[in-house]
A = this chain, B = another copy of it.
């Protein structure tokens, strides 16, 4: 992902293009592992040591608000972020904090058809995500 693509994402949402916003969005894309705010701060400060903590939190909120990133649900007390906006599911390690993406269009179709015919009483489905909990058999490359 080139810097210009990132700039365009911001412009398309009517957000001012700032070096901080570019760095933060770039960090989430490059880290590509559902980083925490702290992970993002550490990564950015290697090149941009003066970015303020509050800036990172505020930019993260703005990016979530404008649907350029998403929060990832966990059962830990720090937030994690995801720059992949297309529909996908997550593999959660049951013994560590590792979270990986799981893309599966066949599964999405299956679920869509299942709920289309079955439905849920008094509930209008907007989105379905799987939390697939288990063990990774290989450590990350």
Residues on A facing B (Cβ under 8 Å): 71-75, 77-79, 91, 94, 100, 102, 106-107, 110, 114, 118, 120, 122-138
Contacts and interface: CB of A to CB of B under 8 A. Distances in A.
A75 B94 CA distance: 18
A131 B132 contact: no
Main SS of the interface on chain A? strand
Contacts of A137: 122-124
A122 B100 CA distance: 12
A19 to B, nearest CB: 27
16 contacts: A71-B75, A73-B75, A77-B79, A102-B120, A110-B110, A110-B114, A122-B138, A123-B134, A123-B137, A124-B134, A124-B137, A125-B132, A125-B134, A128-B131, A129-B131, A130-B131
Given A73-B75, A110-B114, A128-B130, 14 more contacts: A73-B74, A75-B79, A77-B77, A106-B118, A123-B132, A123-B134, A123-B135, A125-B132, A127-B132, A127-B133, A127-B134, A128-B132, A129-B130, A129-B133
A67 B119 CA distance: 31
Given A75-B71, A77-B79, A114-B107, A135 B129 contact: no
Contacts of A120: 91, 102, 132
